[in-house]
Amino acid sequence: MDSFEFMSPTKFILDKDADLLCGREIKNYSDNVLFVHYGDKYTYESGLYDRIMGAIKEAEIECYELPGVQPNPRVSLVREGIKICREHNIGCILAVGGGSVIDTAKAVGIGVFYDGDVWDYYSKKAVPTKSLPVGTVMTLPATGSEGSNGSVLKNDETGESADVMGDILRPKFTLMNPQLTMTLPKKQTVYGIIDIFSHVLERYFSTSVDAHLTDYMCEGVMKSIIVNANTLMKDLNDYNARAELMWTSVIAHNGLLGTGRNQDWATHTIGAQLSANYNSVHGATLSVLFPNWAKYVYKNNIPRFAQFAHRVFDVPVDLDPEQAALEGIGKMREFFSSMGAPEKLSDIGITSDEKFDKMSNDACRFGNIGGIMTLTPEDVKRIYQLSM
């Protein structure tokens, strides 16, 4: 078990009407708010917009809006938000949506207190030390941003994606109404599930030894994801499974499951290049890549992959460890495929290897990646090839 520092100060509330508590929670910090949202058809037509606006007004909070967040959120919108906050001396930000909205809100929160351009935080030219309080109303369990210490943005001008991390980015409160996720279509549900599952995998495939507590917790969380995913594949309207996934999204990515161990994160980095170059959906890249990454690296730590197989997928313990490891990887693929998730790059529209060199080099632009096995650009390219 390695040394660690961990905090997750967010107040989490899960309830059928949790979103309606936003007025009360904002009021703990401010009499005005910046309400950040997608501003899409769903937001208005589902009644979500009216619910939130009603709750804000009932609490007598002055409301300013920042609609228009897109998937892979843009820094240009963040700059607009910062401007509004400064103009109106705003004291709290409410993000209503999924990871893109929350990451935008977090960026506005830290940007308000910085004299330079907020992208400096993402290009690591500056480190945020202060933020406006940010609260969230979760509508898409996947990225875990509602409990995490990170924010990912895209730079409109350069096309570059980058993140900023720090406990200052953790939301003050996160309101989880599972009913808001009941209407999520199957595809988004599945990609959310794979994103959540992958956040555990990245922490689980560690070279730290004797982290029994986090091992068992990671395994338990993965087992619960499988149970709830199976339920949802039979009935997307299952409230309980929706509620559990909502909470699992937080647990998988607030850092708890990484305490006392190093982590891998190569697959996320390899996948990010697909999103940057082909606009591929994050969950889809993980579905394609994770089993292939595992097949490529497992020989570096057969006991860990065998343990994964035994404890998460009930592969018999009396099997030869290497065979067990491979069976576990096969079961991971089966789990993803059982939900209709893509297996190959061609399933997500990538049929040529023309960008493999560029993507492999870009994936390793800050140095070689991964923990279980340190991957060079050549290794990354091989994983792309394996995924064709």
CA angle 354, 355, 358 (to 5 degrees): 135
**Whole-number Å distance between alpha carbons of 165 and 169:** 7
Cβ contacts of 235 within 8 Å, gap of 6 or more: 241
With respect to a second copy, which residue has the nearer C-beta, 221 or 325? 221
Half-sphere exposure of 308 (CA within 13 A, CB side): 27
Residues 11-40 that bind a second copy (CB under 8 A): 11-16, 18
Q: How far is CA 56 from CA 26, 173, 196, in A?
A: 8, 15, 30
With respect to a second copy, which residue has the nearer C-beta, 63 or 165? 165
Least distance CB 250 / a second copy (angstroms):
9
Least distance CB 220 / a second copy (angstroms):
3
**Residue 55 binding a second copy, by CB under 8 A:** no
With respect to a second copy, which residue has the nearer C-beta, 219 or 362? 219
* Span from 99-107, 184-192, 236-244, 344-352 in contact with a second copy (CB under 8 A): 236-244
With respect to a second copy, which residue has the nearer C-beta, 8 or 374? 8
Least distance CB 273 / a second copy (angstroms):
32
Q: What DSSP string describes 93-133?
A: EEEEESHHHHHHHHHHHHHTT-SS-THHHHTTSS-------
Instruction: Name the token pair of 239.
Output: 């409230």
**Residue 9 binding a second copy, by CB under 8 A:** yes
Half-sphere exposure of 243 (CA within 13 A, CB side): 12
Which helix (H) or strand (E) element contains residue 284? helix 282-297
Half-sphere exposure of 153 (CA within 13 A, CB side): 29
**Whole-number Å distance between alpha carbons of 126 and 120:** 6
* Span from 7-15, 41-49, 98-106, 261-269 in contact with a second copy (CB under 8 A): 7-15
Among 133, 182, 206, 217, binds a second copy (CB under 8 A): 217
Among 71, 76, 216, 351, binds a second copy (CB under 8 A): 216
Residues 293-352 that bind a second copy (CB under 8 A): none
**Residue 130 binding a second copy, by CB under 8 A:** no
Least distance CB 261 / a second copy (angstroms):
11
**Residue 251 binding a second copy, by CB under 8 A:** yes
**Whole-number Å distance between alpha carbons of 253 and 144:** 5
* Span from 9-17, 39-47, 136-144, 267-275 in contact with a second copy (CB under 8 A): 9-17
**Residue 235 binding a second copy, by CB under 8 A:** no
Q: What DSSP string describes 140-202?
A: S-SS-TTT-SEEEEE-TTT--EEEEE-GGGS-SEEEE-GGGGTT--HHHHHHHHHHHHHHHHH
**Residue 219 binding a second copy, by CB under 8 A:** yes
**Residue from 252, 258, 255 nearest 211 by CA:** 258
**Whole-number Å distance between alpha carbons of 135 and 102:** 8
With respect to a second copy, which residue has the nearer C-beta, 3 or 89? 3
Least distance CB 363 / a second copy (angstroms):
32
Among 227, 347, 353, 354, binds a second copy (CB under 8 A): 227
**Residue 211 binding a second copy, by CB under 8 A:** yes
With respect to a second copy, which residue has the nearer C-beta, 150 or 260? 260
**Residue 210 binding a second copy, by CB under 8 A:** yes
| Interface ranges with a second copy (CB under 8 A) | 1, 3-16, 18, 167, 210-213, 215-217, 219-221, 223-224, 227-228, 240, 243-244, 247-248, 251, 256, 259-260
